[in-house]
């Protein structure tokens, strides 16, 4: 609260950036310890979490007031006009301080990566759990538990780590049990133009031999070849095929974090422009290159998945430092190969394994702390968008829906949960996040009903050895619900999946009503059977028979009997056997009991 100078400002205007006129809403702006709140004259509330704020800009003073533009990490842009410049300045300074992360508390036992590797079938005769990095002495940005080939000793691990950027030596990321092929990951070698390392060569040979079904392996460099060659001049670079036996080298050409940051900025400029024609919007979308980058990431993952599934070859993936493009390709490749990662729980495990545990720099890439702005890049957002494109092509193969992906993106930037705070596991342990914060995953599981895909088919998902998305250009779309999710003034699009989910909920309510009605009918039928049991034996009257009744009975006996032909009349043109009224006549001809139910207040008696 010490950062809040002004808690309430009245007569603030909220501008609608998508309106062609200078339309605005006037209301009151409140500043709390966690949120910025705007309430307009119609009591409509707009809440902005402080940790969603990416940038705050105070523009030059105008005749109507001081403009304040807030850009959020979840792509919301809010434009306020504050009447007094002093109030605007106070709010501006407060938001700069309040948009830094806070701490919170627990639920971390839900996901256990040792259990996940056990599900894959590791450890086994070819792979082992190594304690070489138990104290983070070999690599600070790797987790404590690492899986390496069983034939590899600790000196080989240490030697290989010294030859790899940031000490990130090759380790297991995913193991395919049916053909024993593996996805491994690392960083670029410090090879320069001619350097080599026998321990690193032995490490790659051990990975190749750990797959008895195929002796060659792929080494996939996710960078453009030109970038990798430029790194050679700095003493880094890529593997020399002459020094490594049985490897096939492949570049896949995903651009670096700076290109991705610039591309997203261009995309947001197009999204935030008012009054664009269709041609201008599509031209701006194309020139941003955003969808082209998504396509490159997916194609790299498809290459990896096909090598594993169809060729049975192990694959080693790296980029520069092995925590950005490597995480994208390894996680997407695993998603294409394994139906478990297409479930809600499995997707959480995938993120925990390939992103959080293996040291994707969430604090730097998401701008959670004051630091180098050049380190900010939408790497994880690209991964989520790639998954969204897969759900669009294979809607029956994923248990989770679009809302699940958006909610994860929301909390990557909110810092309300400890999963995405920090750059690596060691840093999170030093911050004691498990003691001070909650985990996101139990929160999402508690509300998983909202995130279930209504057309998910488990058998359909498991029927594919590998998902093979089509990467032709027209299959890549602008993700409107990500970049325009807060622009309610735009023409609404009805979500087909939301409509299906609403219909399913209505069906469940109707089925519940049917069961309740059936239960009531069953109860009533039981009651009627009970009542009928009391009326089976005729009750005998204890009172003397009335003379009047005797007279009536005698008069009844003197009446002439009907002929048999008169008892049952048939409809003209019909047979007596088909006569629908015959059963009613038979009922009328039956002898009545001496007394029937007394519920109706009358009784029939015979002489």
Residue 273 and residue 282: Cα distance in Å, rounded? 12
Residue 503 and residue 75: Cα distance in Å, rounded? 31
Strand partners, 67: 81
Residue 214 and residue 531: Cα distance in Å, rounded? 79
Eight-class DSSP state of 492: P
| CA geometry: angle 280, 283, 288, nearest 5 deg | 125
Which two tokens mark 54? 């990416």
Eight-class DSSP state of 146: E
Measured in degrees and rounded to the nearest 5, phi and psi for residue 541 equal -75, 140
Buried b (16+ CB within 10 A) or exposed e, 33-60: eebbbbbbeeeeebebbbbbbbebebee
Residue 171: strand, helix, or coil: strand
Residue 509: strand, helix, or coil: helix
CA dist 604 → 589, 591, 592, 595 (Å): 16, 12, 8, 5
Say which residue the tokens 């404590």 belong to: 144
Buried b (16+ CB within 10 A) or exposed e, 264-296: beebbebbbeeeeeeeeeeebbeebbbbebbbb
Say which residue the tokens 């003073």 belong to: 61
Element holding 483 (H helix, E strand): helix 480-483
Strand runs labelled E in 426-548:
none
Active site residue ranges: 319
Eight-class DSSP state of 352: I
Sheet holding 24-31, edge to edge: 45-49, 35-40, 24-31, 8-15, 77-82, 66-72, 53-58
């Amino acid at each position: 609260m010490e950062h809040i100078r002004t808690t309430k400002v009245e007569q603030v205007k909220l501008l609608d950036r998508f309106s062609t006129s200078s339309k605005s809403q006037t209301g009151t702006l409140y500043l709390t310890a966690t949120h910025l709140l705007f309430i307009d004259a119609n009591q409509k509330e707009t809440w902005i979490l402080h940790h969603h704020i990416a940038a705050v800009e105070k523009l030059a003073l105008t005749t109507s007031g001081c403009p304040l533009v807030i850009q959020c990490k979840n792509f919301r842009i809010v434009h306020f006009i504050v009447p007094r410049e002093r109030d605007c300045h106070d709010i501006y300074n407060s938001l700069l301080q309040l948009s830094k992360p806070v701490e919170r508390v627990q639920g971390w036992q839900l996901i256990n990566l040792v259990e996940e590797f056990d599900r894959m079938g590791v450890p086994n005769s070819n792979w082992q759990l190594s304690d070489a990095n138990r104290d983070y002495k070999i690599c600070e940005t790797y987790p404590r538990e690492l899986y390496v080939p069983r034939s590899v000793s600790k000196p080989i691990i240490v030697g290989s780590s010294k030859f790899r950027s940031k000490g990130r030596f090759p380790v297991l990321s995913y193991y395919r049990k049916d053909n024993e092929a593996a996805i491994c990951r690392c960083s670029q070698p410090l090879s320069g133009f001619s350097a080599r390392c026998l321990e690193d060569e032995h490490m790659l040979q051990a990975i190749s031999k750990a797959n008895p079904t195929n002796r060659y392996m792929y080494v996939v460099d996710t960078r453009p070849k030109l970038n990798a060659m430029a790194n050679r001049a700095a003493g880094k670079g890529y593997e020399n095929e002459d020094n490594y036996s049985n490897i096939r080298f492949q570049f896949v050409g995903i651009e670096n974090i700076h290109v991705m940051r610039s591309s997203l900025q261009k995309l947001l400029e197009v999204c935030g422009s008012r009054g664009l024609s269709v041609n201008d919007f599509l031209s701006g979308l194309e020139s941003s290159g955003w969808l082209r980058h998504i396509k490159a990431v997916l194609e790299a993952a498809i290459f990896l998945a096909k090598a594993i599934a169809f060729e049975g070859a192990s694959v080693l993936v790296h980029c520069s430092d092995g925590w950005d493009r490597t995480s994208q390709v390894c996680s997407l490749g695993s998603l294409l190969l394994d139906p478990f990662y297409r479930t809600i729980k499995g997707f959480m495990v995938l993120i925990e394994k390939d992103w959080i545990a293996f040291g994707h720099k969430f604090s730097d890439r998401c701008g959670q702390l004051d630091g180098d702005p050049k380190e900010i890049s939408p790497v994880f957002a690209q991964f989520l968008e790639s998954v969204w494109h897969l759900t669009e092509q294979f809607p029956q193969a994923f248990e989770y829906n679009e809302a699940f992906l958006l909610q994860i993106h929301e909390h990557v930037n909110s810092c309300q949960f400890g999963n995405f705070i920090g750059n690596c596991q060691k840093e999170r342990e030093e911050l004691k996040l498990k003691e001070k914060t909650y985990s996101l995953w139990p929160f999402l599981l508690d509300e998983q009903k909202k995130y279930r895909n209504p057309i998910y088919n488990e058998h359909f998902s498991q029927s594919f050895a590998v998902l093979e998305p089509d990467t032709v250009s027209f299959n890549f779309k602008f993700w409107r619900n990500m970049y325009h999710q807060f622009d309610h003034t735009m023409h609404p699009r009805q979500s087909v999946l939301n409509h299906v989910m609403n219909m399913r909920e209505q069906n469940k309510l109707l089925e519940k009503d049917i069961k309740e009605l059936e239960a009531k009918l069953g109860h009533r039928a039981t009651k009627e059977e009970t009542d009928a049991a009391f009326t089976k034996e005729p009750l005998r009257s204890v009172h003397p028979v009335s003379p009047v009744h005797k007279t009536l009975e005698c008069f009844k006996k003197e009446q002439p009997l009907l002929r048999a032909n008169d008892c049952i009349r048939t409809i003209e043109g019909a047979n007596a056997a088909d006569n629908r009224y015959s059963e009613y006549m038979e009922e009328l001809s039956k002898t009545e009991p001496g007394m029937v139910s007394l519920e109706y207040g009358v009784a029939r008696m015979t002489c």
